Amino acid sequence: MSAVIRIKELRHRKQRREKLRKLRAKYAKATSEDQKSKILEHARKVALWLSEEEFLAPLNKETVAKN
């Protein structure tokens, strides 16, 4: 793999992680089920392989750590 392709791949991964982090924060603040379902739908578009449980796992860890 050439260096240019690797750099692009790393940049895309970083952008995806940041986008998912922002979507998780929005999901945590969402009040209605309609908002939450739209955020989950967007997350699926960002990361196709990501299941709902995997998307919500970091949020569950934070709530357990706070208690």
44-64 pLDDT, tens digit per residue, is 999 999 999 999 998 887 665
pLDDT at 11 > cutoff 80: yes
pLDDT at residue 63, as a whole number: 65
Class of residue 43 by CB neighbours under 10 A (exposed 0-12, middle 13-18, buried 19+)? buried
pLDDT at 66 > cutoff 70: no
pLDDT at residue 64, as a whole number: 59
pLDDT at residue 53, as a whole number: 92
Task: Give the model confidence (pLDDT) of 26-38 as tens digits.
Answer: 999 999 999 999 9
